[in-house]
């Protein structure tokens, strides 16, 4: 294909000149250095491969400018082992001054026996609409006497502004005296927060399985139980700082949820007890983005490993070979003593 003249000219560009095999000889020191170098290159290659396959997460913060007109989803699963479903109502109020009884969303009341067993399930909002026309006092008194409990499960939709939602008996304010007959100790809002989070439950479940960053449900499994020796009705307050958070996958898919931190307080209620969850939204959004090392960067690193180890091993081999040769020459000359 090529003439001999062209071939000879092309050969001048060869920087990998070959020595005839009969001009080289293997050495024991070279063999040891080669084995160690290969093992070291393999170790470094595996380390770099693990780094290439690993998915890391970058974090950034910026001011949230898309807050107006949005709804905040609050997921709730709270058990009240000493408070009957007949007395429980859920209200919400925000900083705009609007107070909403029967907030939007979906919420179930689950009646529990004194030993925590399921009795029946009711729709919280539908139940409260029915009770606006009249309260079944006998049924509520029966639930109190039987020491029934109640569990709230579902979600509510509130304006994306600072506010609060609270569990209480405000809907039965006018009838409360005839229900408890002056004994406030019956109103025990001891509770267990099985789950509380802000954002779509579907998105939250995905994030938990694909990300390790973020504080999405710090109140889960928290218990607030009134001591047996306390007769006063206690109110509980949770002060929650909500931080809008975006999670972005390697494929570019984004999930918008909220992290939060919380402090708690409890005190003797002057009137009817309640459990308040007061939330405030941070103006700063946190974004977690998944990243992965590029293939070209991986190739560059592998080349650096092979070339670097090969070069260093060659220097070490030359040093060993030269040293051993000098020692052997001195021994043959009888100069080692």
Note the residue count of the chain.
337
Which residue range(s) make up the domain with 223?
63-289
For residue 173, the number of C-alpha atoms closer than 13 Å in the C-beta half-sphere is 4
Token pair of 132 as six digits: 């606006």
Residue % of the chain over a pLDDT of 90: 33
Average pLDDT over residues 233-248: 93
**In this model, does residue 135 exceed pLDDT 70?**
no
Q: What pLDDT does 217 receive?
A: 93
- For residues 238-244, give the mean pLDDT: 95
Which H helix or E strand runs over 105? strand 104-112
Q: What percent of the chain has pLDDT over 70?
A: 82
- Tell me what the mean pLDDT of segment 215-222 comes to: 94
13 occurs within a structural domain: no
Distance, in Å, from the CA atom of 312 to the CA atom of 151, rounded to the nearest integer, reads: 69
- pLDDT tens figures, 35-60: 888 998 999 999 999 988 888 889 99
Q: CB neighbours (10 Å) of residue 46?
A: 10
Query: Would you say residue 19 lies in a domain?
Result: no
Residues 6+ apart with CB under 8 A from 322: none
Are residues 118 and 224 both part of a single domain?
yes
Same domain flag for 162 and 41: no
My answer on whether 102 and 47 are in the same domain is no
CA distance 181 to 176: 8
Asked if residue 218 and residue 160 are part of one domain, the reply reads yes
CA distances from 163 to 28, 43, 154, 239 (A): 79, 56, 19, 10
Judged against a pLDDT cut of 80, whether residue 147 lies above it is answered with yes
Same domain, 112 and 232: yes
Q: What is the pLDDT of residue 327?
A: 75
* The pLDDT of residue 7: 74
Q: What is the DSSP letter of 290?
A: E
Which residues fall within 8 angstroms of residue 218, CB to CB, at 6 or more apart?
Answer: 260, 261, 262
Give strand pairing partners of 291: 56
- Whether residues 121 and 218 share a domain: the answer is yes
Mean pLDDT of 302-317: 87
Whether residue 246 is predicted with pLDDT greater than 80 in this model: the reply is: yes
Coarse DSSP helix, strand, coil percentages of the chain, rounded to the nearest 5 percent: 35, 35, 30
Q: Indicate whether 20 belongs to any domain.
A: no
276 within domain boundaries? yes
Q: Are residues 182 and 128 in the same domain?
A: yes
Residue 101 and residue 46 in one domain = no
Q: Between 295-332 and 28-53, two packed helices, what is the crossing angle to 10 degrees? A: 160
* CA distance readout (Å), 125 to 27, 129, 134, 156: 87, 6, 15, 11
Q: Which two tokens stand for residue 330?
A: 């001195």
Residue 238 located in a structural domain: yes
Contact 168, 275 (CB under 8 A): yes
Q: Does residue 297 belong to any structural domain of this protein?
A: yes
The per-residue pLDDT of the chain, averaged, comes to 83
Residues 45 and 83 in one domain: no
Alpha helices in the chain (DSSP H): 4-11, 28-53, 124-131, 137-145, 176-180, 201-210, 295-332
Q: Are residues 151 and 91 in the same domain?
A: yes
**Whether 146 and 186 share a structural domain:** yes
The Cα–Cα gap between 191 and 224 comes to 5
Predicted pLDDT at 133: 47
What is the domain count for the chain?
Answer: 2
The span from the CA of 303 to the CA of 169, in Å, is 71
Supply 101's token pair: 């009884």
Q: Which of 6-20, 137-151, 192-206, 249-263 has the lowest mean pLDDT?
A: 6-20
* Residue 10 included in any domain: no
DSSP character at residue 277: E
Is residue 128 domain-shared with residue 259, that is, in the same domain?
A: yes
- Does any domain span residue 328? no
């Amino acid at each position: 294909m090529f003439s001999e003249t062209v071939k000879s000219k092309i050969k001048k560009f060869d920087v990998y000149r070959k020595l005839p095999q009969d001009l080289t000889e293997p050495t024991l020191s070279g063999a040891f250095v080669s084995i160690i170098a290969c093992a070291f290159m393999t170790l470094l290659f595996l380390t770099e491969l693990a780094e290439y396959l690993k998915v890391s997460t970058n974090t950034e913060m910026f001011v949230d400018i898309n807050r107006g007109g949005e709804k905040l989803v609050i997921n709730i699963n709270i058990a009240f082992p000493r408070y009957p479903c007949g007395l429980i109502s859920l209200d919400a109020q925000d900083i705009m001054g609007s107070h909403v009884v029967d907030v939007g969303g979906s919420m179930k009341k689950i009646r529990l026996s004194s030993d925590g067993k399921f009795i029946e399930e009711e729709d919280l909002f539908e139940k409260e609409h029915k009770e606006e026309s009249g309260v079944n006092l006998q049924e509520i008194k029966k639930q109190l006497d039987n020491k029934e409990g109640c569990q709230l499960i579902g979600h509510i939709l509130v304006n994306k502004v600072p506010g609060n939602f609270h569990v209480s008996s405000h809907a039965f304010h006018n009838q409360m005296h005839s229900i408890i007959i002056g004994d406030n100790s019956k109103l025990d809002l001891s509770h267990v927060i099985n789950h509380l989070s802000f954002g779509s439950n579907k998105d939250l479940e995905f994030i938990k399985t694909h990300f390790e960053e973020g504080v999405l449900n710090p109140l889960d499994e928290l218990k607030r139980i009134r001591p047996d020796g306390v007769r006063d009705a206690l109110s509980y307050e949770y002060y929650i700082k909500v931080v809008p958070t975006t999670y972005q996958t390697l494929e570019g898919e984004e999930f918008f949820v909220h992290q939060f931190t919380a402090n708690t307080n409890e005190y003797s209620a002057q009137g009817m007890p309640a459990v308040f969850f007061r939330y405030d939204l941070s103006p700063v959004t946190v974004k977690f983005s998944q990243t992965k090392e590029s293939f070209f960067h991986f190739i560059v690193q592998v080349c650096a490993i092979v070339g670097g180890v090969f070069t260093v091993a060659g220097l070490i081999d030359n040093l060993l070979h030269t040293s051993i040769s000098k020692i052997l020459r001195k021994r043959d000359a009888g100069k080692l003593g």
